[in-house]
């Protein structure tokens, strides 16, 4: 009887072990196959990668439409205020300053820079700007009270750290902004469609909303 029980137990063990081993072997094979698939997909020598890159560069108009479509779907939430700049909320600032150039978010510069800019409006980068005293005071209050040191944006904090206490007149003179554009060839910046890295909204299609993510960048021809 004991021998029969032993034989039955061994048979049951084999019956259970064989399917289990087959299942493990099958899962390992599929896992390796998946790893090879992703390796081939993103390997720098992969023809797939080259085809994707060429397709992206050749279909710039399609890429631009995709960015605009994603932009429309984007909802600015409070949780995004740490990642992005707060959009401009002053209608006076938008009307008086944004009518000539892009209305930059106050968090792009420290309050000391905004004060220097507003004091020198008689020679504002080669232009003479005349504002009514009450409008000038309102714009000054808005820019200085929402400047980089009062912003909760991580980018504003990085701008301040890169400045080290300096107060430049140009946003493009901040080390952080320069580092972000250092890999961009000068030939691209000098294009008539761009002109300068100070024209943020030309390439950053969501700049008006304070979003400067690379996901929403389109460099025009």
DSSP codes joined into one string, 131-147: --HHHHHHHHHHHHHTS
- pLDDT, position 221: 87
Calculate what percentage of the chain has a pLDDT beyond 70: 63
Whether 15 has a pLDDT exceeding 80, the answer reads no
- pLDDT, position 43: 41
Lowest mean pLDDT: which of 30-44, 139-153, 203-217? Answer: 30-44
Mean pLDDT of the chain: 78
Domain ranges for the chain, please list them.
63-216
pTM of the model: 0.64
- pLDDT, position 25: 55
Q: What is the mean pLDDT of residues 142-164?
A: 96
Nearest to 142 by CA among 174, 117, 105: 105
Lowest mean pLDDT: which of 40-44, 73-77, 106-110, 165-169? Answer: 40-44
C-beta neighbour count of 158 within 10 angstroms: 17
- pLDDT, position 82: 78
Q: What is the mean pLDDT of residues 123-146?
A: 94
- pLDDT, position 76: 46
Q: What is the mean pLDDT of residues 80-88?
A: 83
Whether 64 has a pLDDT exceeding 90, the answer reads no
pLDDT digits (tens, 9 = 90+) for 107-126: 999 999 999 999 999 999 98
23 pLDDT band (50/70/90 cuts)? low
Record the tokens describing residue 30, joined without a space: 């599929």
Lowest mean pLDDT: which of 3-17, 39-53, 63-77, 124-138? Answer: 39-53
159 pLDDT band (50/70/90 cuts)? very high
Whether 47 has a pLDDT exceeding 70, the answer reads no
How far CA 62 is from CA of 69, 175, 184, in Å, comes to 11, 33, 22
Nearest to 84 by CA among 219, 217, 208, 220: 208
């Amino acid at each position: 009887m004991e021998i029969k029980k032993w034989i039955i137990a061994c048979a049951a063990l084999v019956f259970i072990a064989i399917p289990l081993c087959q299942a493990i072997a099958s899962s390992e094979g599929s896992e390796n196959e998946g790893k090879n698939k992703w390796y081939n997909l993103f390997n720098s020598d992969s023809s797939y990668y080259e085809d994707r890159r060429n397709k992206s560069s050749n279909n710039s108009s399609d890429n631009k439409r995709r960015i605009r479509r994603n932009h429309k779907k984007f909802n600015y939430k409070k949780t995004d205020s740490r990642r992005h700049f707060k959009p401009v909320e002053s209608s006076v600032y938008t009307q008086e300053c944004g009518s000539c150039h892009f209305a930059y978010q106050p968090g792009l510069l420290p309050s000391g820079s905004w004060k220097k800019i507003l004091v020198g409006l008689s020679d504002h980068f080669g232009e003479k700007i005349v504002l009514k005293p009450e409008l000038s005071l309102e714009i000054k209050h808005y820019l200085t009270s929402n400047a980089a040191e009062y912003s909760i944006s991580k980018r504003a904090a990085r701008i301040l750290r890169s400045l080290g206490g300096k107060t430049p007149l140009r946003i493009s003179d901040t080390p952080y902004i320069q580092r972000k554009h250092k890999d961009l060839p000068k030939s691209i910046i000098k294009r008539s469609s761009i002109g300068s890295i100070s024209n943020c909204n030309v390439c950053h299609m969501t700049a008006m909303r304070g979003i400067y993510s690379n996901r929403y960048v389109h460099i025009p021809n």
